[in-house]
Amino acid sequence: MSLIKMRIDYLFFGAIGFFLMLSIMTADFHDPTIFNQLYPFDGISNWTGLIGALIGGTLLEVFGPSSLLLPWLFVRIILHYPRRISGFFGTYYALVIVFVLSIVHEISIKTEILNSVDLYFWQNGYAGKLAVAWMETSINTELSITFIAAMLILSVFRMYHVLSPLPFISGIFTILYKLLIFLAGKLNPPTAYDFPSNRQLPDLKGRLRLDENPAA
């Protein structure tokens, strides 16, 4: 069984998703981002280096903790099958979901449903803070919350087959199974059948031929 027949796309985009997730989870306040381009004196703390610090730290500064959904949504939008939503609309609804969750997170902190923790990872992003500030000064709060809830429900409804982790997990197990079968075939190849040397075998001309016996 050839490794080419495996879902290499699962491995490739899964690795990118893992890189994005790790860059967000190991982001540090002192690391450079798009909004903070100062390089720390003691080096970058992000496990994925400078590129990961720029990506992960910027996503946290924009969306807050809800940005953790972006790596998963990125992988599922590209790999979901059968494809029921295009990449463009999938990206749009993914950003809507993350943006709305950022607003919900900011509202939860303001109403003290969630406790404010002095951790860089837990701080909400600019998008949620600006949206809540605009809602408080421009439109009715109850009406805005209703609109946000409707946006979230619609986006989740359109993305429910992408949000489900079961197809991706099934694909990962399929890859592991094929990889184990491939390695088992390489380590223990099937033994060839050894024909006896003194057996009479007919040739193509209809005559009988007696093979030489090495023991004779």
The amino acid at residue 11 is L
Task: Give the residue from 17, 150, 5 showing the smallest Cα distance to 80.
Answer: 17
Burial class (CB in 10 A: 0-12, 13-18, 19+), 9: exposed
- Residues 36-73 have pLDDT tens digits of 878 788 888 888 988 988 999 899 999 988 999 999 88
Place of tokens 């903070």: 36
Query: Averaged over 196-215, what is the pLDDT?
Result: 49
pTM: 0.69
Q: How far apart are CA 37 and CA 25, in angstroms?
A: 19
- Residue 192: phi and psi, rounded to 5, are -75, 145
In this structure, are residues 61 and 33 in contact, taking their beta carbons and an 8 Å threshold?
yes
At 144-158, the pLDDT tens digits run 888 888 888 888 888
Which one, of 128, 81, 61, lies nearest residue 100 by Cα?
128
